[in-house]
Amino acid sequence: MRASTISIATVTAAALAGAIAVGTTIAGPAADSGRPVAGSSSAGPARELTDVERSRVEQAEQRLIRQCMAEAGFRYWVLTPLSPEELRAFAHPFVLNDVSWAREHGYGGLIQQKFFTLKKRDPNLAYRNRLSRAERTRYLTALSGGPDTPVRSVRLPAGGSIRSAVGGCEDAARKKLYGDPGTYFHANKIATNLTALYVPKLVRDKRFTTALGVWSHCMRRATGRAYADPEAVQADLPKRTEGLSGAKKQAAEVELAVAESTCARQSALARTLEKLDREYGAPVRERYSKEISTSARMQWAALVAANRSSSSSN
């Protein structure tokens, strides 16, 4: 019994850490408002960018890459960004908490399917594949740098590291938006990888385990199946929809998503998570307030540059 409890706690901690990372809401799709950050500089807002604002920066980055690639003699397409509603299908919260959204979209399966279908038809990929081997090598070098391109690396607070090539049009575009992409890369990767430092404590908190137990009991009543946590629901979803297609598959997904979000509210699991995230995360975010504020300030500078770029192109 003890080993089983540790196993569930470990899985839950990993899922929760991933859900909270990168500013993702822990409670499911919600209003598109940025999350406050600690120690933000007066040069920018005391919050992270919203999904819509991040999308605007990404679009500006893609336009800059297109311009740079054209100068290198290659074509490059800027794809249509996801709408705010579509973005919510990729939020990956720990527990879904929006009953209305779940009733309309389930877990966003149809939206995700449409996105990945379009991704396979990416004109940039088709264009690159039509190039000769020599031209393809030149294309990739122009885009992200050749094999001798330097690499940035940042060691994460909880261990491990993240690396990124420093070259080509991609890095040049980031330089125009963020000013110093190296500083931004370091600050942002630290700021968005802090949850692993405190989530193991959070999932052992009695307030969390109690709310999770109530949620699990609610899910058993609603679905007839035993789910230890929302991660177990996601693992079971493919089995519940196996062999189904079209409307029946979507209906099964919606039914499960509505049950999860309804139970999240009835059990107060989402509210409990929000409260505990603030409580356990506060001292960690304070410890890394410099990186958090630097990341937020540079994101804001990139948004200003993106808005300026968009206005000048109209």
CA distances (Å), 155 to each of 38, 41, 193, 275, in order?
21, 24, 10, 29
CA distances (Å), 116 to each of 90, 179, 214, in order?
12, 32, 36
* Contact (Cβ atoms closer than 8 angstroms) between residue 187 and residue 298: yes
* Average confidence (pLDDT) over 156-160: 94
pLDDT digits (tens, 9 = 90+) for 182-198: 999 999 999 999 999 99
DSSP 33: -
Q: Please, which pLDDT band fits residue 309 given cuts at 50, 70 and 90?
A: confident
Mean pLDDT of the chain: 86
Six-digit token string for 114: 């449409």
**Contacts of 201 by beta carbon, 8 Å cutoff, 6+ apart:** 280
Distance CA 59, CA 299 (A): 14
Which residues, in sequence order, are bridge partners of residue 164? 152
Q: Please, which pLDDT band fits residue 31 given cuts at 50, 70 and 90?
A: very low
pTM to 2 decimals? 0.80
The closest of 62, 49, 19 to 274, measured between CA atoms, is 19
DSSP 108: T
Six-digit token string for 230: 């929302």
pLDDT digits (tens, 9 = 90+) for 251-264: 999 999 999 999 99
289 Cα distance to chain centroid: 21
Q: Please, which pLDDT band fits residue 16 given cuts at 50, 70 and 90?
A: low
Q: Please, which pLDDT band fits residue 83 given cuts at 50, 70 and 90?
A: confident
* Average confidence (pLDDT) over 36-49: 56
Q: Please, which pLDDT band fits residue 21 given cuts at 50, 70 and 90?
A: very low
Q: Where are the alpha helices (DSSP H) in the chain?
A: 2-20, 51-71, 84-87, 99-105, 109-120, 123-130, 133-144, 168-178, 181-191, 199-202, 206-223, 230-241, 246-266, 269-287, 289-313
Six-digit token string for 93: 């919260």
pLDDT value for 48: 83
Q: Please, which pLDDT band fits residue 93 given cuts at 50, 70 and 90?
A: confident
